[in-house]
Amino acid sequence: MFQIEVNKIVKALNASDGAGVKLKRSIGTPEADYIDPFLMLDEFGSENKDDYVAGFPPHPHRGIETVTYMLHGQFEHEDSIGSKGKMVPGDVQWMKTGRGIIHSEMPAMTGGKLLGFQLWINMPANLKKNKPEYIYIKGNELGVHEDSEKKVKIIAGKYEKVEGPQKNHNVEPIYFHIILNEKKEFKCEVPKGHNSFIYLLKGDLKIGEKRARKNQ
């Protein structure tokens, strides 16, 4: 099995989006402009309500998939095709915007800790005019592998014998939330031709000969 080595360590940049929500952007920056098919990755999170309370009022998307994963806090989603729901910790919203959609994401909280991620995935050209599709995945529907060394929450793809709940994908993504115990290893086979990235949320990590820390 070929071992993947780190090509670049990218520091997330402070940014804002929506109506002024403060976030950290790692893909979609001058240093990591586009990692095919990934267009953007944002970490949104704060314990200060003023950093997020204005939310993301109605705005359009077209030709991409947006994947939102909540770890803390609550957000309400509503869009132009009639989908509506509240995201709570552990939930995933997977939206295939196709030929176009208008949606909003507003905090369903007036205080407390907010933490989550939004990933943008480019859609293949022949699917960009498809009808928009909204997929909501509850946290208890995620695939989970757990052993004495780690816990792996599987949003998309397969790890060991456990699969993620949403299988009808356009680009066959693998999306894991990995909680790795100290000084333990995580190994996973990635299909040939896939581009890969790891977002380090906490602690430090060594991949091959390169080591990264959260605040690097």
Is the pLDDT at 212 greater than 80, yes or no? Answer: no
For all residues of the chain together, what is the average pLDDT? Answer: 90
Tens digit of pLDDT for each residue in 132-154? 998 999 999 999 999 999 999 99
The model's confidence at residue 214, banded by pLDDT at 50, 70 and 90, is low
Tell me the average pLDDT across 85-113: 93
Tell me the average pLDDT across 3-30: 89
Residue 116, beta-bridge partner list:
44, 70
Q: Are 52 and 111 in contact (CB under 8 A)?
A: no
Check residue 43 and give its pLDDT.
96
Tell me the average pLDDT across 199-211: 82
First to last CA, the chain: 29
Check residue 162 and give its pLDDT.
95
The model's confidence at residue 1, banded by pLDDT at 50, 70 and 90, is low
Tell me the average pLDDT across 174-201: 91
Tell me the average pLDDT across 94-98: 93
Tell me the average pLDDT across 100-127: 93
- Rounded to whole angstroms, the Cα distance separating 145 from 189 reads 15
Check residue 205 and give its pLDDT.
87
Check residue 110 and give its pLDDT.
85
DSSP string, 43-60: EEEES-GGGTTT-EEEEE
CB count within 10 Å of CB 136 equals 17
Tell me the average pLDDT across 76-93: 93
Is the pLDDT at 103 greater than 70, yes or no? Answer: yes
Check residue 208 and give its pLDDT.
73
Q: For the chain, which domains are there?
A: 13-211 (2.60.120.10)
Check residue 211 and give its pLDDT.
67
Is the pLDDT at 168 greater than 80, yes or no? Answer: no
Check residue 157 and give its pLDDT.
92
Residue 136: CB partners within 8 Å, gap ≥ 6? 83, 85, 91, 92, 93, 94
pTM of this structure: 0.90
Check residue 215 and give its pLDDT.
54
